[in-house]
Amino acid sequence: MSFDCAARRAELKASSVGRMRALCLSLSFASCALLGCGASDHAQFSSADDGQLQLKIDPSFNKCPTFTQSLVIPQSIPPRFSAAVVVIATDPDGPNAALEYTWSATSGAFTDIKQPTTRYGCEARGRQILNLDAVDARGCQSRLQLAVDCLDE
């Protein structure tokens, strides 16, 4: 997900709560990314008597899936062969949270587009990009891109 911190800061300066959010955004890129991914709809900003800014994030805030490991063997695929593709993704919202997967590619075919482990076969020569979308039960989507080379005969 792409997020323009400067544009978001400009939007938020309109109100006192917006100024607090803008201040929080200016503190670090991580804060910007957090608030840019919808957390601002689940955040409460307040100013303590000592002048410090307090940020409380609603614990029900949905975090998107995270890709932890990936493997493609071989990464250079000869004609009439396929590559084994294995990806591990987790949902930070819970260890048993179910994820839905969908593979796509610039060219080529998968043996199973709905599983994190599949095989990929080339249909065109050259560099191909394999995309895996992982979506959690609440609709938050993450994408992983892997490159493979499809070889000439």
Query: Which of 44-48, 71-75, 138-142, 146-150 is predicted least confidently?
Result: 44-48
Q: Which of 57, 78, 100 is the last residue of a domain?
A: 57
- Indicate if 86 and 114 belong to the same structural domain: yes
- Indicate if 97 and 132 belong to the same structural domain: yes
- Indicate if 79 and 51 belong to the same structural domain: no
> Would you say the pTM of this structure is higher than 0.85?
no
The total domain count for the chain is 2
- Indicate if 36 and 88 belong to the same structural domain: no
Q: What is the pLDDT of residue 40?
A: 47
Tell me how far apart the alpha carbons of residues 130 and 147 are, in angstroms, rounded to a whole number. 6
pLDDT tens for each residue of 80-101: 999 999 999 999 887 667 899 9
Strand 82-90 with 109-110, pairing: unpaired
Query: 86 and 146 in contact (C-beta within 8 Å)?
Result: no
Give the range of the structural domain holding residue 124, as residue numbers without chain letter.
Answer: 66-150
pLDDT tens for each residue of 18-45: 444 444 444 433 343 344 444 444 555 5
Tell me how far apart the alpha carbons of residues 135 and 124 are, in angstroms, rounded to a whole number. 28
